[in-house]
Amino acid sequence: MEEDLLAWLMSLGCGVFAGCFIVAVTLCSGGYVSNAGRRAGLIACSLMCVGLGLLRASAVAALGELLFAVGLTAVEIGIVWSLDYVATRHQADLNAWLDRSAKANQAQGAVDAATANLDRWQTLIRDLREQDADFRHHVEDRQERSIPLGDLEDITTRHVLDGYNAGIAANQGALRGAKAQ
């Protein structure tokens, strides 16, 4: 009984291993394995299961053991084919996801490029505004310096006298009782 259980577990393990191999080849290829290549892998794994079945059948002493070996081989082949079916069914979904992922990566690259371009333009505008402010300051400074000295003295004297006269008028108004506005 113990040997039968061990044989079933070994058969199950071999079938799952072969089936997982088929699933990995089908799904991890990214859709690059043709149907002929997938079928070739399926046939190779099925032949491996048949080979293991023949190996078990070579040590058969009775009809019951032969049927047991055939049953284990059938289980292994069934596992391989069912896992191939699962992989084939999910291959289209995987390819669709890979396409969406590639488009999302491309869109993110375009957004990153546009952001870098926007930053470059904003930096350029800021630099141009700083240059414009510097130039305006320079022009205003030159304009102030271009006033003839005599005119500048007259303007300055007029402003000082206006301030002085306004202060005197405010003081006289305060002395006379007028309220300052």
Over residues 39-94, the pLDDT tens digits come to 777 777 778 778 878 877 887 788 887 888 788 888 888 887 887 787 777 777 87
Average pLDDT, the chain: 81
* Cα–Cα dist 116/40, whole Å: 49
- How confident is the model at residue 2, as a pLDDT? 63
Question: Mean pLDDT across the stretch 14-41?
Answer: 67
With vertex at residue 111, the alpha carbon angle to CA 105 and CA 115, rounded to the nearest 5 degrees, is 145
Other C-beta atoms closer than 10 Å to the C-beta of 99 total 11
Over residues 111-141, the pLDDT tens digits come to 999 999 999 999 999 999 999 999 999 998 8
Other C-beta atoms closer than 10 Å to the C-beta of 24 total 13
Asked if the model's pLDDT at residue 12 lies above 80, the reply is no
- How confident is the model at residue 124, as a pLDDT? 96
- How confident is the model at residue 1, as a pLDDT? 41
90 Cβ contact partners less than 8 Å away, ≥ 6 residues apart: 27
162 Cβ contact partners less than 8 Å away, ≥ 6 residues apart: none
- How confident is the model at residue 64, as a pLDDT? 83
The pTM for the full model equals 0.45
